Amino acid sequence: MDDELDIIGGAVSFGRRPANLPANLRPGWRVVFLVLSLAIASRGRRSSVRRLHVINWAIKTPQNRTAFNSTLQDASGNVQATVLYDPALDKAISLSVYEGLVSRSTAGTVKLTESGVRLADTLATTSTTFADEIAFLKSIRSKLTEPIVDRILYARIEA
């Protein structure tokens, strides 16, 4: 939509320009990683929203992955990660529910649907773009339990 405005004898026009948005802030990126997280790093292709927030934070950057892995490997229970709640993940969950990729239960879990499973399988087998992230998700598959999620999320409160 271009609008023109006559200002002091000259025309000024306004037009829409594409906005640059980093890839990890785009809704499509978050939906992809939500689907991959449920398919690869969750038991029964379902997970609590709290656990998904931890995975979402960890997968964003290599630095987050390093801090996350240090926390998982620390036998003393020290938490080296400060997980930040990301409201955009909740929006990605809502968008994924709308698109039929996931479903939400009344108990607060998110589960991959058959459409979501097909998308995850396609992404995991045909895309080299997400190779690092897929490898990371495979590495935490059995390590990230709900008690560890609680330890990570509530470590700063208990200290």
Entry pTM: 0.79
Split into its structural domains, the chain has a count of 1
Q: Is residue 99 part of a domain?
A: yes
Q: Is residue 61 part of a domain?
A: yes
Domain that holds residue 27: 23-158
pLDDT for the residue numbered 159 = 47
Q: Is residue 28 part of a domain?
A: yes
Segment 42-59, tens digit of pLDDT: 999 999 999 999 999 999
Segment 73-118, tens digit of pLDDT: 876 667 767 788 888 899 999 999 999 999 999 888 999 999 999 9
pLDDT for the residue numbered 8 = 59
Torsion on CA atoms 93, 96, 101, 103, rounded to nearest 10 = 50
Q: Which of 83, 80, 99 is nearest to 91 (CA)?
A: 99
